[in-house]
Structure 1
Amino acid sequence: MPAPEPRKGTPDPTLTEDEFRRRFLSQFRDPAFGPLAGELDRVAAAAWDAYNHNRKSPLTRKAGPGFADPDYDLAVDWIAARDAIGAAQQRHEDANGPARLLLISSSSRSEHTCPGEMSKTYRLVEIARDVFAGTANIEIEVLELSRLAAEYGRHIHPCKACFSTAAALCHWPCSCYPNYAMGQTQDWMNDIYPKWVEAHGIMIVTPVNWYQAPSPLKLMMDRLVCADGGNPDPTRTHGKDAGRAKEIELEGWDYPKHLAGRLFSVVVHGDAAGVENVRRSIADWLTDMDLIPAGVSAELDRYIGYWKPYATSHDDLDQDLAVQEEVRNAARTLLEAVTAKRAGALVSAGEDLKEPRQK
């Protein structure tokens, strides 16, 4: 069937130069920048020129051998991210290397910013980390997502849903960022992708925020869509050519599973509602990407201080020795599954079956 034309018609978000300059300069409201007004004016002019001419990726080089179009100009940022993922995959496949475990602390709460107190999520991650730390030949990586709120220059920019236009338009790793023309820089995902790729086991610990996964976790989840069927060769679509991407998908897309085979554990905690649904949705997301559940004890949803005051929630965790031990058991289950899989002793029934409905 012929590929349909990409649908158009949403309002144009292009800014005038005056509005662009107002927004750009608004980040320098501190009086300390006052003596630098002339310099900032010149910087704003350069930024406007980049925006006006849409210089998304000002530094590029020819793709070279191994790509569908070797003469296509690829962003050097994307090439560096691709190379980092390739090195991470080699570490993942090294049978003589350590078992690599990624622990993800998903709360945005931290004593280093407005809440003034650490999260219970962080404490649960530390409980799990202690389990892993007592085992030889283990490498542990903790991804602390609260740094999005507490650390200067940390961003996970939102997914633009390229995949929903056509699977081939979603590149692995994501090529939407950095976008220098739009000021969408300092994106954390190019550092995060290799952490997932090298891992043999992944443990996500998260609170419930308004019946849902917290925003830092959801941002990361959305930006991992490219790991589930994403296109590893942007030259095939000549960057973001939506029409060509539709043609490629309709010709037959193989939906490569770039994170398949990693094992996972999910621990969800809350105070009043939502833990079961959030745990299920995260587990469903991971299994849809062909990650493997480590076992029943590795998936946990619990209330800590059920309907009690927030002010005493850490005290409630102190007293809840059962949930602390359940988190340890989740970690032990993940570690046992990772060890068995690396030894070739883990059986996952049906793992070699071909999924008839790819999407």
Structure 2
Amino acid sequence: MCRAQSEYEDPAQPPCVLIINGSSRSEHTCPGEMSKSWRLTEIAAEICGVDGVKVEELNLSRLAAEYGRHIHPCKACFSTAPALCHWPCSCYPNYALGQTQDMMNDIYPLWVRAHGIMLITPVNWYHTSSPMKLMIDRLVCADGGKPDPTSTHGKDAKKAKQLDPDAAALSAPPRRPALRGGRVHGDVEGAESVRRSLVDWLRFMRLAPAGVPAELDRYIGYWQPYATSHDALDKDTAIQEEVRNAARTLLEAVQARRSGRLISAGEDLDQPRQK
């Protein structure tokens, strides 16, 4: 984690763009077919992969395709007392319950290192995919989690509640001028609401918007058979170009931020209400 933070802050290191595929489907599991989200991830990665820019791809379909791979659910420690929520999450591994091989140990450094983040997810029953939601919930510790668990003696709820009124007891990770793009595709309902929820979540996490073209929701093969959905994507050259434009917007914002040309008005204002 410290290495990722150091590389993020080092001006000699290339800017990093993290592109996340949230689909559970892949050719390595029982469907035997890649997802459209993965295809769109590759389109975005090709745009962002210019000289001088590092691109990281996070494929959450690995949860379904690799033995023992997990993102364990958030235990909502923050809802008991914020001081119980540690950065990075200290709830796992729990060897007594067999809750091991937690993929978040690999994911946290990717988010810390990234100067730009792009989320690509299908719409599953009006929501993001289950792997995407698992990751989102476990990132609560990045938004106010306490980096030192010793003051609460691990997970002592009574001790944590005593610390709760003291704002100094909570210390979020170093604030980073990260940027983001959000991209979702759906079946026939819910794409707009998923895009809005992702964008709202990222803004609440204090990530700066990359620009309007980076926020996109579209339907692929609207009310058409699932069996021909890849054909529908092949024919929909417009959405392919929209994804490229979303990636171009994110890339432009990352490069502008690194050169000091991008300013987000009001980002340095103190917030009167603490989370």
TM-score (norm 1): 0.75
SS in 1 for 2:18: strand
Deviations along 1:71-100, one digit per CA (max 9) or x if unpaired, are: xxxxxxxxxxxxxx1110000001011111
Cα displacement (A) at 1:255: 5.2
**Unaligned stretches of 5+ in structure 2?**
none
Q: Specify the code of the residue in structure 1 equivalent to 2:272.
A: P
Tell me the residue number matched to 2:130. 215
Confirm whether residue 145 of structure 1 aligns to residue 27 of structure 2: no
246, 249, 265: which one pairs with 2:161? 246
Confirm whether residue 340 of structure 1 aligns to residue 252 of structure 2: no
- Matched ranges for 1:160-199 at <5 A: 160-199=75-114
Change (3 A) 1:258 1:280: farther
Tell me the residue number matched to 1:78. none
Asked whether the equivalents of residues 109 and 117 of structure 1 are also in contact (C-alpha less than 8 Å), the reply is yes
Q: Specify the code of the residue in structure 2 equivalent to 1:246.
A: K
1:257, 1:142 → 2: CA distance?
23
Tell me the residue number matched to 1:237. 152
Cα displacement (A) at 1:111: 1.2
Asked whether the equivalents of residues 196 and 259 of structure 1 are also in contact (C-alpha less than 8 Å), the reply is no
TM-score (norm 2): 0.97
> Which 10-residue stretch deviates more, 232-241 or 246-255?
246-255
Cα displacement (A) at 1:132: 1.4
How many residue pairs are counted as aligned between the two chains? Answer: 274
Tell me the residue number matched to 2:247. 331
Deviations along 1:260-305, one digit per CA (max 9) or x if unpaired, are: 4210000011120101100010111111110111000001000110
Cα displacement (A) at 1:356: 1.7
- Matched ranges for 1:38-187 at <5 A: 85-133=1-49, 135-187=50-102
Tell me the residue number matched to 1:274. 190
Identity %: 67
Q: Specify the code of the residue in structure 2 equivalent to 1:212.
A: H
Confirm whether residue 351 of structure 1 aligns to residue 250 of structure 2: no
Tell me the residue number matched to 2:200. 284
Cα displacement (A) at 1:358: 1.9
**Unaligned stretches of 5+ in structure 1?**
1-84
Which of these two proteins has the greater Rg computed from alpha carbons?
Answer: 1
1:275, 1:343 → 2: CA distance?
34
Deviations along 1:214-248, one digit per CA (max 9) or x if unpaired, are: 10000000000000000000101110010111111
Q: Specify the code of the residue in structure 1 equivalent to 2:84.
A: L
Higher relative contact order (CA 8 A, sep 6+): 2
Cα displacement (A) at 1:259: 5.5
Asked whether the equivalents of residues 147 and 173 of structure 2 are also in contact (C-alpha less than 8 Å), the reply is no
Cα displacement (A) at 1:114: 1.3
SS in 2 for 1:202: strand
SS in 2 for 1:250: coil
CA RMSD of aligned residues (A): 1.0
Q: Specify the code of the residue in structure 2 equivalent to 1:308.
A: Q
Deviations along 1:195-218, one digit per CA (max 9) or x if unpaired, are: 000010011101100100110000
SS in 2 for 1:354: coil
